[in-house]
């Protein structure tokens, strides 16, 4: 289906074409025909970033009677930012519709210009509940001709404490008005609103109820509580092009993390309830312009944010409510793009991940906190990518190029790259060269079989030992990489992992244990310059066998020194 197949007016189709919209999103393809068909109330459950504004905005604009200059449509949303965004979108959609007036009504700004604009006559009002209720108390808004009421992100508005304002506003709207409710989740409060103010509403669910977006990958890393901030830094360093939001539980934690990131040289600022509206606007302006690439926010402060192209959401602290996690992760992976939501959890929080995973119906992948080597590799690859994308312009560089070539005469390509990498990454190489592995194991492992690269429960598992440990740079991620490289025919679920200095113990399903041992024996594998050997734990230590083999290669068992022999004879 295309927009041209939906019965929209040529003026609206012209506005859509200017925005270069061609194919409607699933929520638009479902909701637009439903609203245009009749005046029945409607409840639509869909994630943020799926095109809901066009889904309700286009049919409402289509049905306006332009000779009436009192509000015909009221759109309520949770925050000032979202209010302004919806108003801008409607103005773009109606750019070819002569005389249509859209008014944004929100708090944190002088109310007098908004009152003046309302008195002059408007067609559509987009408002936050608190400011709209204030206008009604002043008797400065006439809702007698309202035909359509939209509650956008209804769950967010109720979470923010707007229930009384919403009830007061809806009580002032004609009973004949069509009610359209859009929400990512359906908690009890939202269900109560639908029962009280809506008449036999049609329910449309795009995706799965209470589910996250399909194109968001959910990951978690287990660390000790004390290592949460160093783990955050490693993730940020591992993704040099990260543009995202770090969610914290409290205002104080939010400010502390933002301050620490700033001191450590990262482009980050905080967003929480203690900021004035002017401070909030300044932070958001910098974030949208990418002058800062990380926003450290509380759930309340981030509600209603409309920012495109976010690559990552990092849950520095998991929320208590499932709905909050849904909204957090829904900030990325918007408009058909992919995104990643990562949770940093301590060893006792695994049950929270399992609960969210079960309710969302989305698998969570346990990932490792990147090592220093992995971070430096990612940084260098990003640097090389930027370098390859540079298009040098003719000019001064051409004049000095012969001098540069002369100074680098005799330096090989490999050596040049080595020097360049050392120069660019010297601080990071020095810092991470001394940093320990931050990965920990959950006290309650996942309870179901995992896919390639994930963990599994310890029930019916066999413990194996491999002759590699911390001193060889082995990490859980690299161990699972070795397992997958040896056995590509099936997804072996790796369970509990214990990495010691010289060797590593890990659990695999009993049925797969011998096949994996044979696989390593039949397919010689090297890691850190060593032949990789695997055995069942307690049935011979592969690291000790390596030592014996090395001793035999040198001419038999190691001989005792004369001093040791004398000491032996004395005893």
How many of the other CB atoms lie within 10 Å of CB of 95?
15
Strands 178-183 and 148-152: parallel
- Quote the pTM value: 0.60
Per-residue pLDDT of the chain (571 residues; tens, 9 = 90+): 788 888 899 999 999 988 888 788 888 999 999 999 888 999 998 876 678 899 999 999 999 998 888 999 999 998 888 899 899 999 999 999 988 999 999 988 899 999 999 999 999 999 999 999 999 999 999 999 999 999 998 888 887 788 899 999 999 999 999 999 998 777 788 888 888 889 989 998 876 554 555 688 999 999 988 899 999 999 999 999 999 999 998 889 999 999 999 999 999 999 988 888 889 889 999 999 999 999 999 987 787 677 878 999 999 998 877 778 888 888 888 766 889 999 999 887 888 888 888 878 888 999 999 988 888 888 888 888 887 887 777 776 777 878 878 888 878 888 887 787 777 777 777 778 778 888 887 764 433 333 334 444 444 678 889 999 888 889 888 888 888 888 765 567 777 788 888 889 888 887 788 888 988 888 888 888 888 999 988 765 554 555 555 555 555 444 444 444 444 444 3
In angstroms, the CA 104 to CA 234 distance is 41
**Phi, then psi, of 44 in degrees rounded to 5:** -120, 120
| DSSP string for 305-348 | ---S---EEEESS--SSHHHHHHHHTTSS-TT--EEEEEEE-TT
DSSP state of 436: P
Rg for the chain, CA atoms, rounded: 30
Helix axes 163-171, 188-197, angle to 10 degrees: 10
Q: Which of 327, 299, 315, 324 is nearest to 364 (CA)?
A: 315
Q: What span, in angstroms and rounded, lies between the C-alpha atoms of 191 and 111?
A: 32
Q: Give the architecture-level CATH label for domain 461-553.
A: 2-Layer Sandwich (3.30)
Report the CATH fold assignment for 216-372: Rossmann fold (3.40.50)
As to burial, measured by CB atoms within 10 angstroms (0-12 exposed, 13-18 middle, 19+ buried), residue 382 is middle
Task: Please state which CATH class domain 3-205 belongs to.
Answer: alpha beta
CB-CB contact of 480 with 488 (8 Å): no
Whether the Cβ atoms of residue 234 and residue 375 lie closer than 8 Å to each other: yes
What six digits make up the tokens of 18? Answer: 């200017």
Residue ranges of the chain assigned to CATH 3.40.50.300: 3-205, 216-372
User: Are 545 and 533 spatial neighbours (Cβ–Cβ below 8 Å)?
Assistant: yes
CA angle 170, 174, 178 (to 5 degrees): 80
Q: At 155, list the tokens.
A: 């769950």
Render the burial of 202-235: b for 16+ CB within 10 Å, e for the rest. eebebbeebbbbeebbbbbbbbeeebbbebbbbb
What residue spans of 198-250 are helical by DSSP H?
Answer: 228-238
CATH 3.30.70.330 in the chain: give the residue spans.
Answer: 461-553
Phi, psi angle pair for 290, to nearest 5°: 65, 25
Question: By C-alpha distance, which of 354, 379, 504 is closest to 437?
Answer: 504
Residue 216: its H or E element: strand 216-222
The whole-angstrom distance between residue 533's C-alpha and the CA centroid of its chain comes to: 38
Distance CA 313, CA 212 (A): 13
Alpha carbons 192 and 186: distance in angstroms, whole number: 10
Percent of the chain as helix, strand, coil, to the nearest 5: 45, 15, 40
């Amino acid at each position: 289906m295309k927009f041209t197949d939906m019965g929209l007016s040529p003026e609206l189709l012209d506005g859509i074409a200017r925005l270069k919209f061609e194919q409607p999103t699933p929520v638009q393809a479902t909701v637009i025909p439903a609203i245009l068909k009749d005046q029945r109330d409607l409840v639509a459950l869909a994630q943020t970033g799926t095109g809901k504004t066009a889904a309700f905005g286009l049919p409402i604009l289509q049905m306006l009677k332009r000779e009436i200059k009192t509000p015909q449509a009221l759109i309520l949303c949770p925050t000032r930012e979202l209010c302004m965004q919806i108003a801008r979108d409607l103005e773009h959609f109606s750019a070819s519709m002569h005389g249509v007036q859209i008014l944004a009504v929100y708090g944190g700004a002088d109310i007098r210009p908004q009152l003046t604009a309302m008195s002059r006559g408007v067609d559509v009002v987009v408002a936050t509940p608190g400011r709209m209720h204030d206008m009604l108390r002043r008797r400065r808004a006439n809702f007698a001709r309202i035909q359509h009421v939209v509650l956008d992100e209804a769950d967010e508005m109720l979470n923010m404490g707007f229930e009384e304002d919403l009830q007061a506003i809806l009580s002032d709207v004609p009973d004949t008005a069509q009610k359209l409710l859009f929400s990512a989740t359906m908690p009890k409060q939202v269900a109560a609103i639908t029962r009280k103010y809506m008449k036999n509403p049609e329910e449309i669910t795009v995706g799965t109820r209470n589910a996250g977006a399909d194109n968001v990958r959910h990951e978690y890393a287990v660390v000790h509580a004390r290592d949460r901030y160093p783990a955050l830094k490693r993730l940020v360093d591992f993704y040099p092009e990260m543009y995202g939001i770090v969610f914290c539980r409290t205002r104080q934690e939010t400010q502390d993390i933002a301050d620490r990131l700033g001191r450590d040289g990262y482009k980050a600022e905080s967003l929480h309830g203690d900021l004035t509206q002017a401070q909030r606007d300044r932070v958001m302006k910098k974030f949208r312009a990418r002058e800062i690439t990380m926003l450290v926010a509380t759930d309340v402060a981030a509600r209603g944010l409309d920012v495109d192209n976010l690559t990552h959401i990092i849950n520095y602290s998991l929320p208590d409510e499932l709905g909050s996690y849904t909204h957090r992760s829904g900030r990325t992976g918007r408009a058909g793009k992919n995104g990643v939501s990562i949770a940093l959890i301590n060893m006792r929080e695994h049950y929270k991940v399992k609960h969210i995973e079960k309710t969302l119906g989305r698998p969570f992948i346990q990932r490792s906190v990147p090592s220093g080597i992995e971070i430096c590799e990612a940084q260098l690859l990003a640097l090389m990518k930027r370098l390859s994308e540079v298009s040098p312009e003719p000019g001064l560089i051409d004049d000095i190029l012969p001098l540069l070539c002369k100074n680098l005469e005799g330096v090989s390509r490999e050596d040049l790259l080595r020097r360049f990498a050392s120069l660019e990454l010297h601080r990071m190489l020095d810092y991470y060269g001394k940093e320990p592995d931050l990965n920990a194991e959950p006290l309650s492992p996942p309870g179901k079989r995992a896919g390639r690269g994930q963990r599994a429960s310890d029930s019916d598992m066999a413990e194996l030992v491999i002759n590699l440990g911390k001193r060889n740079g082995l990490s859980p991620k690299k161990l699972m990489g070795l397992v997958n490289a040896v056995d590509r025919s099936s997804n072996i679920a790796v369970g509990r992992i214990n990495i010691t200095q010289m060797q590593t113990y890990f659990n695999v399903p009993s049925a797969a244990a011998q096949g994996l041992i044979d696989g390593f024996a039949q397919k010689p594998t090297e890691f850190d310059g060593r032949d990789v050997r695997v055995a069942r734990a307690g049935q011979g230590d592969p690291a000790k066998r390596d030592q014996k083999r090395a001793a035999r290669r040198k001419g038999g068992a190691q001989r005792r020194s004369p001093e040791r022999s004398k000491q032996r004879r004395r005893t």
